[in-house]
């Protein structure tokens, strides 16, 4: 049974009336990801398009094999996002500034 927890890479909107074909995965299971990084490629009636990572994190598992036909909104892979770290103020320089 597939794990339904986590963040998912979903198939994007597709050209009307055409199924999409998963051409390749560019990231293997367990590899780290950066937001906007290409993860794979699809081919549909509009041409070839890249699947982009929605977050920084790690690709846990592919849910679709290369060569499979996919539908719009279908879950393609499960991702583990990095934990959000709160923004911190930059540290003040040590010592005072020398007047010029």
CATH class of 7-81: mainly beta
CB 34 within 8 A of CB 58: no
Distances in whole angstroms, Cα of residue 67 to Cα of each of 20, 35, 64, 92, 96: 10, 25, 9, 54, 63
CA nearest neighbour of 75 among 19, 20, 7 = 7
pLDDT digits (tens, 9 = 90+) for 57-95: 999 999 999 999 999 999 999 999 987 655 554 554 555
Instruction: Work out the number of other CB atoms within 10 angstroms of the CB of residue 15.
Output: 13
What would the pLDDT profile of 23-54 be if each residue is shown by its tens digit?
999 999 999 999 999 999 999 988 999 999 99
The domain limits of the chain are 7-81
Q: Which of 11, 16, 63 is nearest to 42 (CA)?
A: 11
For residues 26 and 42, the answer to whether their CB atoms sit within 8 Å is: no
């Amino acid at each position: 049974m597939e794990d339904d927890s986590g963040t998912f890479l979903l198939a994007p909107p597709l050209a009307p009336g055409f199924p999409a074909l998963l051409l390749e995965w560019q990231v293997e299971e367990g590899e780290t990801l950066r937001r906007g990084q290409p993860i794979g490629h699809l081919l549909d009636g509009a041409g070839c398009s890249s699947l982009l990572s929605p977050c920084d994190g790690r690709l846990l598992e592919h849910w679709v094999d290369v060569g499979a036909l996919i539908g719009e909104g279908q879950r393609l892979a499960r991702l583990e996002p990095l934990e959000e770290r709160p923004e911190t103020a930059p540290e003040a320089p040590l010592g005072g500034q020398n007047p010029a």
